[in-house]
Amino acid sequence: MCIATIIISCGKQTDYNVQGLKPIYMPIAQLQNFQQIAPQPIQNSGKSLLYNQYLFLSENNKGIHVIDISDTLNPQKISFLKIPGNKDMSAQDNRLYADNGPDLLVLDIAQIIKITVVKRIKNSFLPSEYSPTDFSGYFECADYSDNKWLVGWQEAALTNPKCKK
């Protein structure tokens, strides 16, 4: 009887629950909705780029703040470029190059108040984010299947998470 109990109890796996982070996804089709909107609060800034009299400041996975710094003592927020999945950018010859999930956007910034898409180069980038940055603990593993792109992380109760760092 003792042996039967040991054998039966060894076969059961007990679930465990922990607090951690789970990925936030956006369908690839929704990523492609570029918009220039009113200035937004800076919350989670990433890379910055100085081009002419403008500071372009990345808001991780959300877009780019456009700030006029011609008067360094009184910088003026011009607009926010809503570019989901954005992390990086560069500029040359009045063109701003920005990642937009798997795509590369080429934007005309000659008229800073009316920025337009010149070109979208599809599938230029592979996923690069598989775990949350600046985080230690359990998280739900990232999954890029089903035409979706990881655009952030949120706190959640996780059951049997397979990923930890």
Query: Would the pLDDT of 57 be above 80?
Result: yes
Q: What is the mean pLDDT of residues 130-143?
A: 93
For residue 119, being part of any structural domain is answered with yes
| Tens digits of residue pLDDT in 102-132 | 999 999 999 999 999 999 999 999 998 899 9
Instruction: Let me know: does 70 contact 53? Beta carbons within 8 Å.
Output: yes
The 10 Å Cβ neighbour count of residue 155 is 9
For residue 34, being part of any structural domain is answered with yes
For residue 106, being part of any structural domain is answered with yes
pLDDT given for residue 103 in this prediction: 96
pLDDT given for residue 27 in this prediction: 93
For residue 4, give the H/E element and its range. helix 2-11
Q: What is the mean pLDDT of residues 63-83?
A: 97
| Tens digits of residue pLDDT in 39-48 | 999 998 999 9
Which pTM does this prediction carry?
Answer: 0.84
pLDDT given for residue 122 in this prediction: 95
For residue 7, being part of any structural domain is answered with no
pLDDT given for residue 12 in this prediction: 63
For residue 149, being part of any structural domain is answered with yes
Number of structural domains found in the chain: 1
Task: Report residue 140 as tokens.
Answer: 């739900």
27 is in which domain, residue-wise? Answer: 15-164
Q: What is the mean pLDDT of residues 133-144?
A: 93
For residue 68, being part of any structural domain is answered with yes
Q: What is the mean pLDDT of residues 133-155?
A: 93
- CATH number of the domain residue 103 falls in: 2.40.128
For the chain, how far is it from start to end, CA to CA, in angstroms? 42
Nearest by Cα to 100 from 154, 6, 31, 39: 31
For residue 94, being part of any structural domain is answered with yes
pLDDT given for residue 44 in this prediction: 87
Q: What is the mean pLDDT of residues 78-106?
A: 96
For residue 6, being part of any structural domain is answered with no
What are the backbone angles phi and psi of residue 7, rounded to the nearest 5°? -65, -45
